[in-house]
Amino acid sequence: MIGTAKAAAGVALRAAPGLMVVYVLVMIVEAIAPIAVAWLTKLVVDSLARQGSAAELSTLAVGLAAAGILVTVLPQLMQYLNSEMGRLFTAQTTTQLFSATLRFAGLRRFEDPNFHDQLRLAKNSLSTGQEVVTGSLGVVSAVITLAGMVGSLLTVSPVLTGIVLATGVPALLAQLRLSHRRAAMIWDIGPAERRQMFYGDLLTTIAAAKEIRLFNSGRFLRGRMMTELRTSNAARRRMDIKELSVEGLLTLLGAVVAGGGLIWAVISAGSGALSIGDVSLLIAAIGAVQAALNGLIIGIAALHQDLLMFGHYVAVTSAEPDLPIPAEPAPLPRLRHGIQLTDVWFRYSEDHPWILRGLNLFIPAAASVAIVGLNGAGKSTLVKLLCRFYDPQHGSITWDGVDIRDVHPDDLRHRISGVFQDHMAYDMSAADNVSIGFVPAREDETRIRGAAHEAGIDDKLSSLPRGYDTLLTRTFFSEDDKDAPDTGVMLSGGQWQRTALARAMFRGHRDLVILDEPSAGLDPEAEADVHTRTRRRRHGATSLLISHRLNTVRDADLIIVLEDGAIREAGKHDALMAVRGPYARLFNLQATGYRGPEEAVAL
C-alpha cells in the first residue's frame, strides 16, 4: 500500500509539480477556515452579550465575513484545481500504462486472462491515482479541521468531546472493512464485466455484423451479455445494501450524540453554566467535528479503496518483462549464413500439448524456404518463435550463430518483415495502412506508392475519393471529411491482403521475409501476380513462405513438410515428388482437385 501511495505521489509530482504546491496551500487554508468561523462566531456572540465596543464588534464581524467568504469560495477553487490535476495526472498515467504494455516484447501476457483483468482495472484506475493523492491530502486537511474543532469542543466539554470522538472509531473500522470488500468485489466481477463488454462489442462491430444477421444470433448474444450484466449487478447490489445498512447505523449514532449534546448545552446555558457564545461554539463544533470525523472516515475508506485499485495500475506498469531481455544485448549483424533451429520444443503453456517437438531446421541465408503441413501442424507457431514472440522451452534458435535470446527483440525484429496469416486491417487511412510497416519513413509518399505498386494495390488506393488519405473504414471519419462522413471506404478481403503485403514491402529490404499465407484470399490471377511480385522481392533475401496452395511453393529452394511438430520431409519440389511421400500426396490431392482424378499423377 505504501509503495502504491508513493507511486501515485511520484506520478503527481512529475505531472504537475507547481499545481501540487498551490493545491496544498489552498487545502490548508480551506481546512483552517471553518475553525476560524466557529471561533469568530463565539467571539461575536460573546461580545454582543456583554455589549463590547463598536470597534471590537466590527473587527470581529469583518473577520467572520472574510472567513465565511473563504469557506464558500475555496471549495470551488479546489474543484477546479482537482479537475486540472486530474487531467494532467491521467495524461501521465495513460502514457505510462501504454508504454508499459509496449515493454512486453512477447505475446504471452496478452493471452493470460488474469493479466487482462488486471489491465482492465488498471485502465479504469488511470485517474484513481490522482484521487489517492488528493484523498491523502484531504485526509490531512480533515485532520487539521478535526484537531481545531476538537480543541474548541474541549474548551466547552471534555466528556462530550470524548463521546463524539468515540463514535468515530467503529465508523472508521466499518468503513475500512467495507472498502476492502468493495475492492475484492470489483476484482471478482472482473471476468463477468469483461465478457459483458466482449458481447457488447460483438453486437456492434462490423466484423461480426454479417454472421450475427445471417445466423440470427443477435438475441442469443444479447441474452448472454445481459446474464453477465445481471451477475455483476447482483454483486454490486449486495455490496450497496451492506454499505447502506452500516452507514445508516453510523449516521443514526452520530445524530443521537449530536442531539444529546444539544439538549445538555441548552440546559447548561439555562442554569448559567455555559455562555450563549459557548452554546453557539458547541453547536458549531459538534456539527463540525462530526462532519470532519465523517469526512475523515469516508476519506480514509475511499483512499484505502483507491489504493487497492491503483495497485492494479502499479502492478501492470511495474510488471517484469515477459521475455528476458539481456542487460547487454549482442549486436545482430546482417544474416550471412543462416538461421539454425536446434532441438526446439515449444508449447503455449504447461497445460497445452507440445506444438513443436525437437524441431531441427536450418534456414540458409538468401534461400527461399517453404513450409507446408496440415492445419495445426505448427507452421505459424514456428514463425512466432522466429520473431521471438515466445521463447522455446527447450532448444535454441541462432542467427549466424548468435542465440536470438541474447539479442534485443527490437534489433531482431528490425531485420524481419512479413505478412501474418491474421494480418491487421487498421481503421486508418490508406497511407497509414501502408506506412505503419516502417513508421520512421511514414511521410515518404513516394515510398508508400512504390510499396503499394509492388503489391499491386497502387491503382486501387490512388483512385479512392481522397487518394491515399482516404480512410479505410466506415467506423470513423477524419476532420477533413466531417461534412461528408461517408468518404471512408471498405476494401475487399483480397485488397486488404495486398495492402498488408504493401506494408511488408514498405519496410524495405530486410534480412528475413516471412509470408504466412500471403495469398489465401486472392483470386487465381491475383495469387499468381502476388507470387511473382513476392518472388521478385524475396530474391536475395532469406524468405519463409507458408502456404496451403502447393503450386506457390514449388519453386522454393527448400520445402519443409511439418507434421506433429517435427520435420517429416524436406527437399526441393522435384525430389519430394520423386520420393512420393506426404508432400507428393498433398500436391496430388490438390492437383486432382483442379484437374480431376484422370489427370492426377499416379502414386
Ligand X SMILES: Nc1ncnc2c1ncn2[C@@H]1O[C@H](COP(=O)(O)OP(=O)(O)OP(=O)(O)O)[C@@H](O)[C@H]1O
Q: Kindly list the residues in this chain that would bind ligand X in the complex (CB under 6 A).
A: 111, 348, 352, 355, 373, 375-381, 421
Residue nearer to ligand X on the CB measure, 87 or 108: 108
- Is there a contact between 97 and 317 (Cβ–Cβ < 8 Å)? yes
* b/e sequence 113-130, b meaning 16+ C-beta within 10 Å: eebebbbbbbbebbbbbb
Closest to 259 measured CA to CA, from 286, 232, 277: 286
Pick between residue 23 and residue 420 the one whose CB is nearest to ligand X: 420
Taking the least distance from each CB to ligand X, the nearer of 111 and 240 is 111
Beta strand pairing status for 356-364 and 338-346?
Answer: antiparallel
Closer CB to ligand X, 121 or 355, in the complex = 355
Q: What is the dihedral of CA 352, 354, 355, 358, to 10 degrees?
A: 160
603 residue type, one letter = L
For residue 344, the minimal CB distance to ligand X (Å) is 13
For ligand X, the closer CB: 110 or 594:
110
Smallest gap, in angstroms, from Cβ of residue 348 to ligand X?
3
| Cβ-based nearer residue to ligand X, 106 or 378 | 378
Amino acid at 222: R
Cα separation, 288 vs 42, whole angstroms: 14
Please work out, in degrees rounded to the nearest 5, the angle formed at the alpha carbon of residue 352 by the alpha carbons of 349 and 355: 95
Q: Which residues contact 86 (CB under 8 A, 6 or more apart)?
A: 127, 130
| Nearest distance, CB of residue 350 and ligand X, angstroms | 12
**Would you say 126 or 561 has its CB closer to ligand X?**
561
- Local structure of 516: helix, strand or coil: strand
The rounded distance, in Å, linking the Cα atoms of 436 and 427 is 12
Least distance to ligand X, CB of residue 493, Å: 16
Of 157, 165, 135, which is closest to residue 290 (Cα–Cα)?
A: 165
What are the strands, taking DSSP E only, across 366-520? 368-372, 394-399, 402-403, 416-419, 512-516
Give 354 or 477: the residue with its C-beta nearer to ligand X: 354
Report in angstroms how near the CB of residue 415 gets to ligand X at its nearest: 22
Q: Least distance (Å) from ligand X to the CB of residue 382?
A: 7
- State the minimum distance, in angstroms, from the CB of residue 566 to ligand X: 13
Q: Which long-range contacts (CB under 8 A, 24 or more apart) does 191-196 make?
A: 191/113, 191/117, 192/228, 192/231, 192/232, 193/120, 193/228, 193/232, 194/116, 194/117, 194/120, 195/224, 195/228, 196/225, 196/228, 196/229, 196/232
Q: How far is the CB of 345 from ligand X (least distance, A)?
A: 13
Nearest distance from residue 355's CB to ligand X, in Å?
Answer: 5
- The residue (of 348 and 477) whose beta carbon lies closer to ligand X is 348
